[in-house]
Amino acid sequence: MTYSQVAAKLDGLLATGRPAFIGYLPLGFPTLENSIDAVITMIDAGVDIVELGIPYTDPVMDGPIIQAAAQIALDNGIHPRDVFGVINQIKMQRPGIPILVMTYYNPVFRYGVEKFAHDLADAGGAGLITADLVPEQGPEWIAAADKYGLDKVFLVAPSTLPQRLRLVAEASRGFVYAASTMGVTGVRSEVGAAAAKLVADTRQAGAKHVCVGLGVSTGQQAREVGRYADGVIVGSALVKPLLDGSIPWDQRLQHLSRVTHEIAQGVAEARKDTNA
């Protein structure tokens, strides 16, 4: 069986009695150097696994906060190939943290699927979360990921039928990404009520690890989701503190650190005094 950086991290954290905190930030926002500083800040404040998003011109899954940050990165000339250098620099500073790339499939396809897999593995990346790719349309990526020992994270949603849950569970490595609700990313007042059932159904379909994202934005929400999910995925709530360009960058990083720490506390407390 191919080794998985992410599954190993999840197993280690779950053995201590808590799920993982998976944090998303966009590559190159607002600059490449700033994005490295932001990821390091996020890790130091409690993130266990990083999702590094490649900005894309047609982000069908991204809500307004992530779209705004991604557009700034695109306007500054960010390119998908920049992700490899950023991963390498983060891994040199925080070697124990798995880094997944969150991407739409077109940038990978245009770069060259096997070349992307090779360069990602060479940089120390853990694998890809492919937001718009379903397993039956991704045999080239699946083969390349298997060749280079990369994780393959596919998505399920509350509308996913049982036979598709089995297909996704079988194709994924690292974890299955359970979207808590239908729609795009964003800060929400509550996480989709169907998320717990989706996690249970995905495990029943054969997935070893299931992590939940879309809408988790507070420590309390993270605490609730962490009771049943193997990992709590947070994106917009971490990007939002960095968006206000009228505030000095170091103050934005301090705000990011505070938000991250609050959510990390919720994750850490998720399974205390429970049998989860």
Which pLDDT value is given to residue 61? 65
Which pLDDT value is given to residue 57? 80
Nearest CA to 47 out of 83, 90, 84, 80 is that of 90
Helices (H), 162-235: 162-171, 195-204, 219-226
> Token digits for 68?
């705004």
- 249 assigned to some structural domain: yes
Cβ partners under 8 Å of residue 122, min gap 6: 84
Which pLDDT value is given to residue 63? 76
Active-site pick, 48, 62, 201, 230: 62
**DSSP string computed for 5-61:** HHHHHHHHHHHTT--EEEEEEETTSS-HHHHHHHHHHHHHTT-SEEEEEPP-SS-TT
- 273 assigned to some structural domain: no
- 13 assigned to some structural domain: yes
- 16 assigned to some structural domain: yes
- 198 assigned to some structural domain: yes
- 124 assigned to some structural domain: yes
Helices first, then strands: H and E counts in the chain:
12, 9
Give the sign of the dihedral formed by CA 101, CA 221, CA 243, CA 67: positive
Nearest CA to 49 out of 10, 87, 106, 102 is that of 10
The count of domains in the chain is: 1
**Cα–Cα distance for residue pair 276/274, rounded to 1 Å:** 5
**Cα–Cα distance for residue pair 276/164, rounded to 1 Å:** 26
What is the DSSP-derived secondary structure letter of residue 113?
A: H
**Cα–Cα distance for residue pair 156/143, rounded to 1 Å:** 21
Residue 163 burial (CB count, 10 A) = 9
- 276 assigned to some structural domain: no
Spatial contact of 237 and 259, defined as CB atoms under 8 Å apart: yes
- 274 assigned to some structural domain: no
- For residue 135, cis peptide bond before it (omega within 30 degrees of 0): no
Token look-up 């503190």 returns 241
**Cα–Cα distance for residue pair 172/244, rounded to 1 Å:** 36
User: Catalytic site residue 51?
Assistant: yes
**Cα–Cα distance for residue pair 168/136, rounded to 1 Å:** 9
Q: What is the pLDDT along the chain (276 residues), one digit of tens a residue?
A: 678 999 999 999 999 999 999 999 999 999 999 999 999 999 999 999 999 999 988 756 677 899 899 999 999 999 999 999 999 999 999 999 999 999 999 999 999 999 999 999 999 999 999 989 999 999 999 999 999 999 999 999 998 999 999 999 999 999 999 997 534 343 444 555 688 999 999 999 999 999 999 878 899 999 999 999 999 999 999 999 999 999 999 999 999 999 999 999 999 999 986 544
Half-sphere exposure of residue 170: CA atoms within 13 angstroms, side-chain side: 8
Nearest-5° Cα angle at 221, 237 to 160: 90
CATH code: domain of residue 203: 3.20.20.70
Range of the domain at 226: 5-268
User: Catalytic site residue 62?
Assistant: yes
